[in-house]
Amino acid sequence: MKELYQIERINYNYCLVAVEKTFAGKGILASPNLDNNTVTVDSPLSEKDWKQIHFLLSEEGYELREKI
């Protein structure tokens, strides 16, 4: 079941690859769309995964927001 999350760019120097690699590092297939500031994941994120990915993305210049 796919889920859609809001994502916000904090640093415009980063790109889609940084977001994809962050999710892939946790074994999660993600499709970011920075034109509308969303990321679609192929399976629901557990609370633990969400917190870890939120932290990793913040280091890459993004903020993962709530599920849409």
The neighbour count for residue 45, using CB atoms within 10 Å, is 20
Average pLDDT over residues 33-60: 86
CATH of residue 34: 3.30.70.100
What mean pLDDT comes out for the span 35-41? 85
Q: How many domains does the chain have?
A: 1
Q: Which residues contact 41 (CB under 8 A, 6 or more apart)?
A: 2, 3, 5, 23, 28, 29, 30, 31
Domain that holds residue 32: 3-67
Candidate from 8-12, 23-27, 45-49 with smallest mean pLDDT: 8-12
In sequence order, the β-bridge partners of residue 5 are 39, 67
What is the model's pLDDT at position 13?
Answer: 55
Percent of the chain predicted with pLDDT > 70: 90
